[in-house]
Structure 1
Amino acid sequence: MEHQRKKREIIIGFVLFMGLVNFFADMTHEGARSIYGSYLGLLGMNAAKIGFITGFGEFVGYALRFWSGRYTDRSKKYWLIALVGFSINMAAIPALVLVNKNGWLLASFFIVAERMGRALRLPANNTMLSFAGMEVGEGKAFAIEEFLDSVGAFIGPVYLYLIMLFKPVVSVNDYRLLFGALALPAIITLIVLGKAYKKFPQPEKFASKPQFKSLNQPNKALLVYAFGISMFALGFIDFPIITMHIAQLGLVSTADLPLLYAYSMLIGAFSTLIFGYLYDWLGLKTLVIPALLSAGFSYFVFGNRSLGLIMLGITLWGIGMGAQESLMESVIGTIVPSENRAFGFGIFDMIFGISWFLGSWISGILYDHSITLMIVFSIGTQLLAIPCYLFVAWKNKI
């Protein structure tokens, strides 16, 4: 009994440590993402181009997880892969200081490179967390980590906002200062990651529960779930398009735009925590709740000029994003065996990424031609995910 208590404390300590790593990592890259829309617009890109680049970045960031997940499962080098991925992920953001006013191609390269680093590290990161989740609850483990992750995503934009209070942003050179300032949390990320490796060198030993499901077995429910998350991602408009839209309406100053993203991340943080704990209680049916809540966010954000209603839409966006990311990881941690779990994370992330890329690109094109059609497309595709979630919950009884 005493041994189990100590083991549980060690595992919770590991989850908190990795949460701290991801706190600073998200402070870095989500801080940058909060200003991508206005930054890329200043470089001369329209909505379609911004939607393509940010969507392509998400596609790369999710699709490459298929291969990084497979390699992680085969090599079992969880920490090495995580370190290399985090290093690329953290280096790409400060590198944006090298971009000049005509450098939208170079900026696009660094934005995509940042997503590539994230793609490399996440299957290893999530697999190590899933080992912990097998002992303390899949929903709880990912909820705690994603909560700290999302709080970091909230702090990052606020950090940039405070800088902009003293240095107004009116040119590309001003943005260089902001990207340079993000080097601080990037460095802290790598320091904390190194300490986590020294303290918990073999997280795979956390798992003791027997595995009884195989990813290689034909499973209709898995295919339906994959279709469901692809529909959600297809309709979930990326935030840079939201910030670009609000900037064009002139409802919020450029300096205040990061606060909108920070707010959505804060909502996502609590959404992650709440729905993660609900997952351990209700199972896969939990997915339906945030999907219903967030489906109509595009109507409130793009369908009117009221800042209050736009904020409601951003609130719904934060609920959907926060819940979906943690719950997808929890579901995969539950239904995929440990020996090929990183590959499982990679497959589903690839599906999600392809769909988000196509959805962001389509949404950007529709925005330039008909905002109404974009709203209908967004709501309709997200609602298609709900019957899929219900089917999988019924089929798997989880």
Structure 2
Amino acid sequence: MRPWRFVVWFGTISLLADVVYEGARSVTGPLLSSLGASALVVGVVTGAGEAASLGLRLVSGRLADRSGRFWEWSIAGYALTVASVPPLGAVGVLWAACALVIAERVGKAVRSPAKDTLLSHATAAVGRGRGFGVHEALDQIGALVGPLLVAGMLVLTGDAYGPTLAVLAVPGAAVLGLLLRLRARVPEPAGYEHGTAGPGGAAAGARLPPAFWAYAGFTALTTAGFAGFGLLSFHLVRHGLLATAWVPVLYASAMAVDAVAALATGWAYDRLGPRVLVVLPLLTAAVPALAFTERLGPAVAGSLVWGAALGVQESTLRATVADLVGPGRRATAYGVFAAALGVASLAGGALTGALYGYSVPLLIAVVAAVQLLALVLLAVTRRLR
């Protein structure tokens, strides 16, 4: 199979998987509430799920590198996710539903480092930026379709969660079928990379290179100043700038911008190299300056800029990891990278939330300062390569 076909097929698998778990995540709060969960329980369960999704990649990435069984780790992770979602609406017991919500996130932790490593081999042949950009664009299609499918099913079934989430077993089965077929067609994707190794070397015992650690610091800083969409939508509704019913429409628009930004920056990355990442701190700094105004136009623009920054985060940042670390340690690097993102996301949410309640001008200034430090670390990364 040609490497571009491999990238597209893997992107299609991610698209279908996103239909499953993003569809379920769009109703996790109301579903748990219908089983008697308080706001605290919903917050703790979803927070624990996200912590598991990111933190456990430190372990799964290292184990995938040591075993070399990247397909097996990918398939196991996807299987856990697609098996956790359809029963979610039918269990009828709060503790069981909470366990399934967390299990779905654990599935993502199990597969992600191995999946990104498999994908990185094919992107070596087609262009790291373009390959990861196309994969992210396909992924975002699933993130749009899943919630819309669930919304339509809820209307048809009168808000019945059981049959609504059971429908997601269909794309889930397609995920596993396509994965097994792709593995049979391309059992060793490392062949796409023609045995080349990045700065980290190919040996599984080699240490991660200094440039990667500087890059992880850059990633953490630019993420730590990144306001979440929850805070952006809170501001829009609280100040009467947008009706609640229009918030999902704005979110969908931001996801469309995410896909376009992933493709654009991926194309630019393959021509200009890591210098294109300068755009990420600039976008991140622009989000609060636009989004937290009290005028609809700039606030909506800020949300769309947020989508563009997210597209860069989820595509071109991953492409750079593959260029910095050789195949033998790449899954480990993706695990460390995800953990850095997770810690920084938590810190960023707390920072922007606290400063928003205290002083929006101070929030804008602090985020700008953090992004300036991120640019310094990006420059250090380029010098160490």
State the TM-score, normalized to the length of structure 1. 0.82
Q: Structure 1: how far apart are the matches of 2:63 and 2:230?
A: 32
Match of 1:384 in 2: 373
Matched, 1:131 2:125: no
- Residues 331-350 of structure 1: pairs in structure 2 closer than 5 A: 331-350=320-339
The alignment partner of 1:296 has SS state of: helix
Q: Structure 2: how far apart are the matches of 1:379 and 1:26?
A: 33
- Residue pair 1:243, 1:257 contacting (<8 A) in 2 also: yes
Farther-moved stretch of structure 1 (373-382 vs 134-143) = 373-382
Q: CA deviation at 1:75?
A: 1.0
Q: CA deviation at 1:320?
A: 0.9
The alignment partner of 2:243 has SS state of: coil
Q: Of residues 4, 11, 21 in structure 1, which corresponds to 2:13?
A: 21
Match of 1:316 in 2: 305
C-alpha change, 1:389 and 1:108, in structure 2 (3 Å) is: farther
- Identity across the alignment (%): 31
Matched, 1:290 2:280: yes
User: What is the RMSD computed on CA atoms of the aligned residues?
Assistant: 3.2
Matched, 1:189 2:175: yes
Which one-letter code corresponds to 1:252 in the other structure?
A
Match of 2:243 in 1: 252
- Residue pair 2:31, 2:89 contacting (<8 A) in 1 also: no
- Residues 204-223 of structure 1: pairs in structure 2 closer than 5 A: 204-211=190-197, 213-214=199-200, 216=206, 219-223=209-213
Match of 2:50 in 1: 58
- Residue pair 2:3, 2:192 contacting (<8 A) in 1 also: yes
Match of 1:71 in 2: 63
- Residues 84-123 of structure 1: pairs in structure 2 closer than 5 A: 84-98=76-90, 103=94, 108-123=98-113
Matched, 1:45 2:39: yes
Q: CA deviation at 1:317?
A: 1.4
Matched, 1:359 2:348: yes
Q: Structure 1: how far apart are the matches of 2:366 and 2:25?
A: 24
State the TM-score, normalized to the length of structure 2. 0.84
The alignment partner of 2:60 has SS state of: helix
Q: Structure 2: how far apart are the matches of 1:291 and 1:167?
A: 44
Gaps of 5+ in 1: 1-8
- Residue pair 1:156, 1:262 contacting (<8 A) in 2 also: no
Which one-letter code corresponds to 1:60 in the other structure?
A
The CA deviation string for residues 370-389 of structure 1, in whole angstroms up to 9 with x for no partner, is 47366666555445322222
The alignment partner of 2:65 has SS state of: helix
Q: Structure 2: how far apart are the matches of 1:73 and 1:113?
A: 23
Which one-letter code corresponds to 2:185 in the other structure?
K
Q: CA deviation at 1:41?
A: 7.8
C-alpha change, 1:282 and 1:188, in structure 2 (3 Å) is: same
Q: Structure 1: how far apart are the matches of 2:317 and 2:53?
A: 16
Q: Of residues 218, 223, 242 in structure 2, which corresponds to 1:228?
A: 218
C-alpha change, 1:394 and 1:364, in structure 2 (3 Å) is: same
Match of 1:5 in 2: none
The CA deviation string for residues 145-197 of structure 1, in whole angstroms up to 9 with x for no partner, is 122112222222333344456567xxxx5555654443333232222222222
Matched, 1:144 2:134: yes
Q: Of residues 199, 205, 208 in structure 1, which corresponds to 2:185?
A: 199
